[in-house]
Amino acid sequence: MNISGDDFIRGCSAIGAGLALIAGIGPGVGQGIAAGHAAAAVGRNPGAKSDITSTMLLGQAVAETTGLYGLLVAMLLMFVKPLLNK
């Protein structure tokens, strides 16, 4: 079994991209928990619905950046191969 340098780089890029996409699990779970707590808070205090919703959406936007960075890294690993000379 001969593995050339190019094949090794492609394989490691694919494995790294898969690992980078694992970063999307955390924001998904966190956003679900935040939405659930926000719904419970609105149920307890309907008058503060706009404040709760805006705070929840801001927190979810900040949490989503982690998943987007993971997606960006995965795309770079899969489609940009600066170490290959082809």
pLDDT at 80: 84
pLDDT at 86 over 80: no
The per-residue pLDDT for range 8-65, each reduced to its tens digit, is 888 888 898 999 888 888 888 988 998 999 999 999 999 999 999 999 999 888 888 9
How many domains are contained in the chain?
Answer: 1
Going by C-alpha positions, the residue among 84, 64, 76, 80 that lies closest to residue 24 is 64
> Is there a domain that residue 5 lies in?
no
pLDDT at 83: 65
Q: Is residue 34 part of a domain?
A: yes
In a domain? residue 41: yes
Would you give the end-to-end CA distance of the chain in angstroms?
Answer: 23
Residue 11: inside a domain: no
Hey, what amino acid is at 74? A
Q: Is residue 29 part of a domain?
A: yes
pLDDT score of 1 more than 80: no
Domain of residue 62, CATH code: 1.20.20.10
On whether residue 19 sits in a domain, the answer given is no
pLDDT bucket at 66, cuts 50 / 70 / 90: confident
Domain that holds residue 49: 24-78
Residue 4 lies in a domain: no
- Residue 63's pLDDT is 86
Nearest to 80 by CA among 5, 3, 10: 10
Prediction pTM value: 0.72
